[in-house]
Chain A
Amino acid sequence: MFLSKYISEVFGGVKSLLTGMRRTGYYFTHHKNIITQQYPNQKPVLAERFRGEVVMTHDENNEHACTGCTACELACPNGTIKIVTKFDITPEGKKKKAIDTFVYHLELCTMCNLCVDACPTGAITMSNSFEHSVFDRSELTKVLNKPGSKIREGVE
């Protein structure tokens, strides 16, 4: 009884080891399974949800959806976003709050996505770009609204 258990243990162990070796042997001989992406030569395939940096989406008329509500600025845990607002005069002669500059400090950003979640109008999103290295730190402070852009009609 003891002996048969002992022998079956030995054979079971050898069998499980051989199963493992068959798998690695298969990978060794089948190079098409290799998952390495050779980055500088080959652009990596990134997931849709990958968080590279915060961008403000502009449409073809150079219009964005940012109302200047500063919800993102308040949501940001480490002061990455600074919004400077101004007052536009509408054709009816009323004053309307709008953004002057949307300052984004990439060097402070932890890509936590809280600003994107906080935005009520979906004006900002996370983009997939990740090659952020620059020669001077000041280049990391970005203005997200494009020059001459204005708020899209109908966004309140």
Chain B
Amino acid sequence: MEFSLASIADSIDQWLNAHCASWLALTIEFVIVGVLCIGLFAVLGLVLIMMERKVSAYMQLRLGPNRVGPKGMFQTVADTLKLLVKEGLTPAGADKFLFNLAPFVVMIASMLVLAPIAFAKDFVIWDVNIGVLYVSAVSSIGVIGILMAGWASNNKYSLLGAMRSGAQIVSYELSAGLSILTIVIFSQDMSISSIINSQQDGWWIFKGHIPVIISFVIFIIAVTAETNRAPFDLAEAESELTAGFHTEYSGMKFALFFLAEYVNIFIVCAIGATLYLGGWMPLHIGNWEAFNHIMDYIPSSVWFLGKTFFLIFVIMWFRWTFPRLRIDQLLNLEWKYLLPISMFNLLLATLVAIQGWYF
């Protein structure tokens, strides 16, 4: 049997159904998926924070962490251990229930978006037929957690950070949604699996040329803003608001916010890779059978992770190059530039799709 993540999942499913009742098998599968998601989150947190620190170091002519473990690779493990044993303080004036709930809301919101993402060929938690709509709907729940954290902290910096974050995410959700729509127009389907299948003879960024490239650029800018990362990190804005909405958080509750930030980056990059770069689909060019066949030898999960990490690198590249925007510049960029351009681009994409001017 060929080795792939999908075949492992299938054989586990068959084995469970053969050995116990179907309701029990389903429950065990739920538990396995949950554990795998949490495990993925933990590993992503460690890997992405390490990656960010190394990328930032090399871009700023530094070496980065290089003392703990070989080449400093265990630095994030040590940091996590430190955060685990730290005291989780709740300020006396805080709304205790909301304050303690907020990090979990942020975390659960990013966990929910994980559901329709295809990690490899036929390897997806929930292949819902409105995948793209689901993603853009659920990913905006996270802002409730941020507002909750800012409000419950009873601190002016936290509240300011949370309010900025709210304004920012609500604005940029628009252009992110409109740029996703461009791909929906071309693939004529909202489910993630059929969007990936429509890229069998080439990724949309190559097939859809000008409108898709414009929408890709807008998508990357909008998701950078949505994940509250520099140059759009006004919600945290270290030099102005100490740490924005998570000023008052410490220990494991802070770690959850930190982890959610990196998991969100992974998720938006995974969605970007799925929509524009073909998800797990290998690099296929039209009818070049021999070339396509060679590309198929690389496992689909490697393709997916490679594309996702490439986009994550690009977003990190933004962060360590560009200065932070002011709040009025941020809203100007969205309402005066990105939104009109993406609306015009949507018209252009529709014209190209109707006329069949794409490959």
Contact = CB atoms under 8 A, between A and B. Distances in A.
A31 B58 contact: yes
Contact of A27 (B60, B318, B341): B60
Given A10-B337, A10-B341, A28-B55, A33 B61 contact: yes
Nearest to A23: B321
A20 interface: yes
Interface in B1-59: 55, 58-59
- Interface of A, helix, strand, loop or mixed by DSSP: helix
B62 A34 contact: yes
Contact of B321 (A10, A20, A36): A20
Contacts of A17: 321-322
A24 B341 contact: no
B317 interface: yes
Given A27-B58, A31-B58, A36 B317 contact: no
Interface in A11-37: 17, 20-21, 23-25, 27-28, 31, 33-36
A24 B319 CA distance: 11
Contact of A24 (B62, B63, B320, B337): B320
Contact of B62 (A21, A23, A36): A36
B61 A36 contact: yes
Contacts of B66: 38
A38 B66 CA distance: 10
6 contacts: A24-B320, A34-B58, A34-B61, A34-B62, A36-B62, A38-B63
Interface of B: 55, 58-63, 66, 317-318, 320-322, 337, 341
Instruction: Please list the 7 inter-chain residue pairs (A to B) with the smallest Cβ-Cβ separation, ordered nearest first.
Output: A24-B59, A24-B321, A36-B63, A20-B321, A28-B58, A35-B61, A28-B59
